[in-house]
Structure 1
Amino acid sequence: MARFILTLFGVATLFFSTSHGANADTEEVYGLAQGCFAVQSAHNDRFMRRYQTNGTINGGWSFDFSAVSPEDAALFYMKPSELGTFMMRDQGGRFLDTRLPADITAGNVPGQHANWRIDERMQSGEQQFRFTSLSLNRTLRHNWNSRGIYLLDLLNPGNKDSEAWFRLVPAQNCEDFPEAEVNIAGDLEPLKGNANEPVRGSIDAHTHITSYEFMGGTMMAGSPFHPFGVTKALADSSDVHGPDGSLDVIGNLMGFNDINFRYNTAGWPDFPFWPNHQSLSHTGYYYRWIERAFLGGQKMMVTHLVENEVLCNLLPGLCWRPAAEILDLGVRAVYPIHRFDNQFGGPRIESGLINVGNNLSTGRYFSTSACDDETQGQMMYNDLGLFGLEALLGITGSTNYDETTDQCNNRGLTDLGIYLVNRMMDMGMIIEVDHMSQHSHEAVLDIKEPVLMFLAMMTA
């Protein structure tokens, strides 16, 4: 009974204890990033090593301070997760890791449980470091007598014969942290350019780097960056899209016009299916891929923020703001028309799910007619793939498209759209026409010569 009460006390203190002392926000701590180090006791000069216990967590692997020489020490690659916080991964791919209630282990999966804040201090002319678990909010300690490491010792509440500050000894031969390869070699000096000369290179005028946040992050898989690395940023998408993409309803309809489309959801490093040019529900903007584009000569990216109108209407006040207020927020480029017909005019049309969305947004399907000979339109299909769910979704009306020829949206700029475009031009704003219908696009060009305009992806 006494042991049970003592254990409860220890677990309770686990969540209410905080580490105090030196600050992690120092250049000395930041400089540890991507370095290779052995952890050495400041008391007896022994080194931390990885060894196997009789436990069951992570195969019994853990760490202690039994190594006498650097040759037997665990060599940790310092993977920064934020300023002053790191995951420490040894040469065998094992992390200095933690588990509830207060266990230290050698894990093989990155995450908050393997995330440490590192503090630095000078003691007797010697630089020392302290490690605090961000998952358990406890400081790592070394018991000199047992050579073990711990976060909480119920039998030694005063931390007798122990230390919490250590040396970090520079080392070599650490195993690099997993990362996507750039696979580009050459002279990087010319890429720096010259401020007094024209910028030369390619431009990607239409990107959606932040699309992983679309619909609150519930549709897109993957992200441009993750604090815990590529294995998290580009992980298997089944958590979002279900087994074989079975829950990727929007992606399957928009990209493949088939709600029953199935695919291999595995991500880095194999990528058997995604990313690809048809998939619209997986990121294509991992930061290393952007770096590769830059090293290949790309000098400009225009990234667009985008959200769904129906969701936007659930948040009053965010759907529409006056152009002057948008300008004050620092916004310089705006899509007056995007995806669906709106009060400003008609968009570039699409069949399938986008046409269904137009009905949900406006109460009608796209109104179209055959394009002229100089305009590339879209094939519009009368089978919307809804499997009889129209009434359940609140969709009304029917379609009667000519499925033998390209179609163009009949809607152009409205009077309100003409007013908006004029005011945007007066303010020197960029008017994005990528998603406009042919009639809307031509109306913008007829108003007056714009200051700057992107015309990529222009179809009817």
Structure 2
Amino acid sequence: MNTRHSCLAEAKQSPHGKASAVVAAVLSLALAACGGSGGGSGSGSSAPVPIDNGGNPSANALGRYDLFNQCWVMRANGAYVRRDGADFVADADATADTAERFYMRAANLARYLFYTQDERLMTASGPGVSTAALSEPEGGSDWTFTEAGNALNAATLDGALAVAGDGSLVLGQTPAALRFEPATGCAEYPEMPLGMIGQSYTGNANEPVLGFAEVHAHMSMGSEMSDGSRNVGPTAGGVQWGHAANRFGVPHALGDCEQFHGPNGTLDPEALILDLTPGTTHDTQGWPTFVDWPANDSQLHQQMYWRWVERAWMSGLRIMTVLGTNIEALCQVAQATGPTRGQNPADLDCVDMSVGMKQVEYLFGIQDYIDAQFGGPGKGFFRIVGSPAEAREVIAEGKLAVIPGLEFTNIWGCNVTFLPDGSEQRACTREDIDAEIDRVWDAGVRQVFPFHDVDSALGGAGLFSNILEIINFVGTGRFFETYACEDGGEGENFLFNAGLTSLAADAPLLGQILGNDNPITSTLLGLTNGAVPTAESGRRCNVRTVTDLGIYAIDKMMKKGFIIDIDHAEIRSKQIMLDYTATTEPDYPMVSGHGGQGGINNEQAKQIIAQGGVIYPGNFNGFGHETFLQQLRPLWDASGTTREFSVGYGADANGLRNLPGPRGMGRIMATGAVNYPFQLFQGPGWGPQFDNIAPVTVEMLSVPGNDGRMWNVNEGGMYHYGMIPDIVEEIRLEGGKDALDSYYNSAETYLQMWEQTLTASQNARSLPVPQEVPR
């Protein structure tokens, strides 16, 4: 049975209390919050009741989390704070009417920005220096609050917010006692519109989960931690612009990208390295105008700003795997050719394990940031989980269960270098693998890729992208060694095609592709000693498969209980993994979560399903999703599984991959356009399982500050992750009830797979340690 979150109910049940007049005022504020904001768009959350504790020492004190995203006047040591030019003064003669209005924007848990009526920030520039209102935030704009009796203290830059002898607010050693009273008349801090009217739905922990699963996302890609403490070090050497969450909010999370991509985007490695289209430029403007980005084909601009993920959650997203990722060799190329980008060199590196684990750490920072926007620890919709039982509890509360993972080549630090004599030099041992597995598990990681884009000491990469020929050489010292893929590598016997044609077979030499005077060309050719791959005909697969060290690592991952994603493994490596994981009781399930890179033939697909695994495609548009359902359904039925048919997705957002393109006139003529606004959970295609869920209205998102331009899925496809509800409507148009049923079954199927993983893991611990690769 699903029930609806009630904003008013939460307001009435607030733990705070006061005299009836204040309660009446507070309830009016709560009712206003229930009505939504920003042109009628409501969010799935409600604010706790703000309490006036300013002049009544018996009143319940505000906690340090309670000020979030609301309008207040402040008293410092009993006196109201007013403006004095650019400065702030605690004035005994001031009143609530003459006091400065502060919109207290949550910068993180118990951390706030004082946003003034004239849209400036109260900022301290150093110890002993008066605070001043600045138009752009600095480190001294970010204030950390602590509780002191029935008052609050605030601090920044290693100093406390204090009151000088003349009443001026300064940084000092003796913190002022701060008290806050609700107010009106604030300038609201800028934020991305949500464009959803309604509330998210809850569930029942004793019933199957209703919702869909996203099993391959890279939300924690960004250039710094959400609290500003240090750099994350994202893939491609720091050229992915933008943050999922930033302490200074959306203006800085999604600001102008010129610092990273150069004037007019001329240093954007997406054009130079990935698209092989030199001379491509883009307008670098970000918030609020967004001229050229985000866009479905803009791979190196942030696609998963937290507010966009909130929009997806409100449409039924209930499982999301977020993977720390990197490509060491691509990172090295980008660092060698790009600008300084203003990053701290001490924090910036290209090592897979280092970068990936920073992104996992950042993921917990994102959770804290979202909690801060909803009122404190545990209050947000975004909950990191470590087990399927935790996930079910979180989802029953109507929240999103987030699973940390890792996806990169040199997992466990297992790089490989191929020497001129044909031998290989491995960077890890069994003992290293054991230690890293324990460290990563203890950090909260639960899903792992044994293989990725480049060969490693564990085995070979599944081939799927021509540019990886060059990247593999940079990373290992040689190009891929290939063979003609079995059965041609494509056709009716394959769910996902295997292998690829080589770079040299598809394009002129690298210098002709990029231009000999291009800095990327000279860097790449320098790193490869001028070599380019040899042209070979037909689809080619990687000769290198699972090594003895690789099967040891897979065995250890099974015994620890990791969810293992089979994508990116060479197609023969996939078979080795499937057969080895079938030796447990029950079978240890495998995941193919975003398109089967390296290839999956039909027999392997049936084996994945029969062993309790899942196969979810990259995030297609509605037509692509329906087409994939028609391909997978016969294999699902032939596998013998008794599980409900389900298909989620792995959007690979922020993963150097395009998002779904425009709906297109052909599909609009065939099945109709997405007509805004539209409703979820009610109407044609929505089955009886949605009967007790209140509908949510989805509006077309407007581009803030861009004179009426809209993010319309019909015209531009999936501009960013906030378009997931629009893709859901496309799926309904293309596939109706059957498509929606399988989509909203996918979170439950994923949890069943995870539960089987843990059961199989317990039994796998009795298996002997493999000494060689089973053939």
The 3 A distance-change label for structure 1 pair 337 and 71 is same
| Residues 1:79 and 2:216 aligned together | no
Quick one: structure 1 residues 459 and 314, their matched pair in 2 at CA, closer, same or farther if it must change by over 3 Å?
A: closer
Match of 2:489 in 1: 371
Matches within 5 A, 1:134-173: 134-135=156-157, 137=159, 139-141=161-163, 143=165, 149-151=168-170, 164-165=176-177, 167-173=179-185
Partners of 1:445 and 1:118 in 2: CA distance: 52
- Is 1:341 paired with 2:463? no
Measure, in 2, the Cα distance between the counterparts of 1:335 and 1:41: 54
Matched, 1:242 2:283: no
Partners of 1:429 and 1:164 in 2: CA distance: 50
1:408-457 CA distances to partner (integer Å, 9 max, x unpaired)?
A: 43443345434543454455433221212323223322434351221131
Q: Which has the larger radius of gyration?
A: 1
CA distance in 2, matches of 1:128, 1:418: 59
Map 1:312-391 onto structure 2 (within 5 A): 312=351, 318-319=413-414, 320=428, 322=430, 323-329=433-439, 330=441, 331-368=445-482, 369=484, 371-373=489-491, 374-375=493-494, 376=497, 377-382=499-504, 383-384=509-510, 385=513, 387=516, 389=522, 391=525
Counterpart among 275, 284, 292 of residue 256 in structure 1: 275
Does residue 28 of structure 1 match 2:63?
yes
Summarize the Cα distance change of 1:82–1:362 in structure 2 as closer, same or farther, 3 Å threshold.
closer
Counterpart CA distance in 1 for 2:561 and 2:577 is 14
1:82 offset after TM fit, Å? 3.7
Query: Which residue identity is paired with 2:159?
Result: N
The gaps in structure 2 that reach 5 residues or longer are 1-60, 223-231, 330-349, 355-409, 415-427, 599-775
2-side partners of 1:105 and 1:313: how far apart? 42
d(CA) in 2 for partners of 1:151, 1:342 = 56
Q: Which amino acid aligns with 1:75?
A: R
CA contact (8 A) 2:87 2:168 kept: no
1:192-243: CA deviation from partner (whole Å, max 9, x where unpaired): 2111011121111111222323458723221221122122222222222222
Question: Relative to structure 1, is the Cα distance of residues 40 and 341 closer, same or farther in structure 2, using a 3 angstrom cutoff?
Answer: closer
- Aligned 8 A contact 1:75 1:174 in 2: yes
Structure 1 residue 347: deviation in Å?
Answer: 1.7
Q: Are the structure 2 counterparts of residues 261 and 321 from structure 1 closer, same or farther at C-alpha, using a change threshold of 3 Å?
A: farther
The alignment status of 1:96 with 2:229, answered yes or no, reads no
Equivalent residues of 1:205, 1:302 under 8 A apart: yes
Instruction: Look up the SS of the partner of 1:29 in the other structure.
Output: coil
Match of residue 441, structure 1, among 545, 570, 574:
574
Match of 2:194 among 178, 182, 188: 182
The one-letter code sitting in structure 2 at the alignment partner of 1:345 is: G
Look up the SS of the partner of 1:285 in the other structure.
coil
Counterpart AA for 2:315:
G
Q: Tell me which residue corresponds to 1:50.
A: 83
Structure 2 partner of 1:58 = none
Aligned residue number for residue 313 of structure 2: 294
Alpha-carbon separation, structure 2, partners of 1:228 and 1:130: 20
Structure 1 residue 29: Cα displacement: 2.7
Alpha-carbon separation, structure 1, partners of 2:162 and 2:560: 58
Of residues 206, 211, 215 in structure 2, which corresponds to 1:201? 211
Match of 1:455 in 2: 592
Q: 2: distance between equivalents of 1:38 and 1:379?
A: 66
1:288-336, Cα deviation, whole Å (9 max, x unpaired): 2222211111111112222344543998984446454344332443322
Give 1:137 deviation, angstroms.
2.3
SS of 2:473's partner is: helix
Counterpart contact for 1:102–1:136, Cα < 8 Å: no
Correspondence for 2:239: 219
State the secondary structure of the residue aligned to 2:193: coil
Q: How many residues align?
A: 406
Structure 1 CA distance for aligned equivalents of residues 456 and 478 of structure 2: 12
Q: Report the more deviating stretch, 238-247 or 348-357.
A: 348-357
Q: Residue deviations 1:333-391, cap 9 Å, x none?
A: 33221101223332232445422110112222234445343342545432334636355
Show the counterpart of 1:432.
Answer: 565
Equivalent position to 2:253, from 218, 228, 233:
233
Contact 1:359 1:396 in 2 (8 A): no
- Distance in 2, matches of 1:431 and 1:314, equals 17
SS of 1:392 mapped into structure 2: helix
**Structure possessing the higher relative contact order (Cα contacts under 8 Å, 6 or more residues apart):** 2
The amino acid that maps onto 2:194 is V
1:74 deviates by 1.7
- 2:64 aligned partner, one-letter code: V
**Secondary structure in structure 1 of the residue aligned to 2:64:** helix
SS state of the match for residue 211, structure 1? coil
Question: Does the Cα contact within 8 Å between 2:62 and 2:151 map onto a contact in 1?
Answer: no
Are the structure 2 counterparts of residues 448 and 83 from structure 1 closer, same or farther at C-alpha, using a change threshold of 3 Å? closer
CA–CA separation in structure 2 for the residues paired with 1:271 and 1:306: 26
Structure with more strand by fraction:
1
CA distance in 1, matches of 2:450, 2:154: 51
- Structure 2: how far apart are the matches of 1:397 and 1:94? 55
Q: Deviations over 1:259-305 (max 9, x none)?
A: 54321222223332333343333332222222221111111111222
| Cα distance change of structure 1 residues 63 and 235 upon mapping to structure 2, 3 Å threshold | same
Equivalents in 2 of 1:205, 1:152: separation in Å?
47
Measured after TM superposition, the shift of residue 252 of structure 1 is: 2.9
C-alpha displacement of 1:75: 0.9
Following superposition, the deviation at residue 152 of structure 1 comes to 7.6
Q: Is the 8 A contact 1:363 1:396 kept in 2?
A: no
Q: Assess, with a 3 A threshold, how the Cα gap between structure 1 residues 337 and 170 changes in structure 2: closer, same or farther.
A: same
Question: Judging changes above 3 Å, is the alpha-carbon distance between structure 1 residues 179 and 379 closer, same or farther for their aligned structure 2 residues?
Answer: farther
Q: Give TM-score, length-normalised by structure 2.
A: 0.47
Secondary structure of 1:80 counterpart: strand
Q: Distance in 2 between matches of 1:68 and 1:115?
A: 26
Shift of 1:256: 1.9
CA distance in 1, matches of 2:323, 2:179: 47
User: Structure 1 residues 443 and 372 mapped into 2: Cα distance closer, same or farther (>3 Å)?
Assistant: farther
Match of 1:39, SS?
strand
Residues 360, 395 of structure 1: 8 Å contact kept: no
Amino acid at match of 1:206: H
Asked whether the 8 Å contact 2:82–2:94 carries over to 1, the reply is no
Q: Which protein has the bigger helix share?
A: 2
SS in structure 1 at match of 2:292: coil
Q: Aligned residue for 1:109?
A: 136
Asked if 1:272 corresponds to 2:394, the answer is no
Does the Cα contact within 8 Å between 2:88 and 2:169 map onto a contact in 1?
no
Counterpart Cα distance in 1 of 2:178 and 2:559: 63
Q: Distance in 1 between matches of 2:66 and 2:352?
A: 47
1:39 aligns with 2:74: yes
